[in-house]
Amino acid sequence: MTRTAIVTGGSRGIGREIVTRLAADGFAVVAGYAGNEELATEAVGEVRESGGRAIAVRADVADERAVAAMFDAAEAEFGGVDVVAHAAGKMVQSTVADLDLADLDEVYRTNVRGTFAVAQQAARRLRDGGALITFSSSVVALAFPAYSPYTATKRAVEAMTMVLARELRGRDITVNTIAPGPTATDLFFEGKTQETIDRLAAQPPLERLGTPADIAAATAFLAGPDGRWINGQLLRANGGII
C-alpha cells in the first residue's frame, strides 16, 4: 500500500521542498496551497515527471470546510492519509507598542486557527501508524524584537501539538513540531538587508543559513519508519543556534 502525505504550504519554500522529498521517499503527495495555483501545479508536475504521484488542492487552512475537503480529496485520490506536514504559515513583524491588532488577528487566523483546523482533521482521519508534523520557529526561544505576534502564535502551535500527542494515545500516531531556524527561502530574504542576512547566517555554530532541504530532511525523518519512537517532541532544526 502506498502511503499518502498531505503537505500544506506546498507551493513554495519549505513546504514545496517537503513535497519533493516525501514524493522521492515514495509517498503519494497532496500539495495544499492557499492561492498560487501556478506554483502548486509546477510542484506537482515535477513530482510526476520523476515518476511520483501527486495532486494539488487549494485550501485556506483556517477554513475547516476547505481543510476537510482537502482530506476528502486525498482519500478519494489515494485511499487514505498517513502523514500530514502542516507547513503553511504567515508572519507579521511589529513591536508590541506599534502592533496593528488587525494584523495580529490575521496571523493568528492562519497560524493558530489554521493549525487547529488541520490538526483536527488529522486527528480524526490519519490512519493508525501515521504522523502529524506541525511547524513552530526557533524565534520562539530567541525572543527577537518585533517578533512577538509571530512568536506568540508559534508558541501556541507547540502547546497544541504536545497536548495532541497525548490525546492520540492508542492510535500509534506520532505528533511532533519542527522549529526551523533562519532558512533560505524567499519569505526569509524579503525585506532584509544583506547585513541582516549575514548576521543571521553567522549565528549558528555551523555558520550558514538553513536550506529548505534541511527542513524537509527533518520532516522526512519524522514521517518515516526511523522516526516512529519520536513523539510529542519539539525538534529545533537550526544548526545549533539554541
pLDDT in tens, 54-77: 999 999 999 999 999 999 999 999
Q: Are 151 and 139 in contact (CB under 8 A)?
A: yes
Q: Is residue 233 part of a domain?
A: yes
Q: Is residue 106 part of a domain?
A: yes
Q: Is residue 193 part of a domain?
A: no
Q: Is residue 138 part of a domain?
A: yes
* 166 CB burial (10 A radius; 0-12, 13-18, 19+): exposed
Measure the CA–CA gap between 83 and 80, rounded to whole angstroms.
Answer: 10
Catalytic site residue from 33, 108, 147, 150: 150
Q: Is residue 123 part of a domain?
A: yes
Q: Provide the number of structural domains found in the chain.
A: 1
Q: Look up residue 172 and give its DSSP letter.
A: -
All three cell numbers of 28? 503519494
* 41 CB burial (10 A radius; 0-12, 13-18, 19+): middle
| pLDDT single digits (tens) 81-121 | 999 999 999 999 999 999 999 999 999 999 999 999 999 99
Average pLDDT over residues 215-239: 97
Confidence of residue 2 (pLDDT cuts 50, 70, 90): confident
pLDDT for 186? 82
Q: Whole domain around residue 67: which residue ranges?
A: 4-183+211-237
| pLDDT single digits (tens) 155-184 | 999 999 999 999 999 999 999 999 999 998
| pLDDT single digits (tens) 10-64 | 999 999 999 999 999 999 999 999 988 999 999 999 999 999 999 999 999 999 9
Q: Is residue 194 part of a domain?
A: no
The CATH number of residue 72's host domain is: 3.40.50.720
Measure the CA–CA gap between 92 and 102, rounded to whole angstroms.
Answer: 11
pLDDT beyond 90 at 206: yes
Q: Is residue 206 part of a domain?
A: no
Q: Is residue 148 part of a domain?
A: yes
Please say if 147 is a catalytic residue.
Answer: no
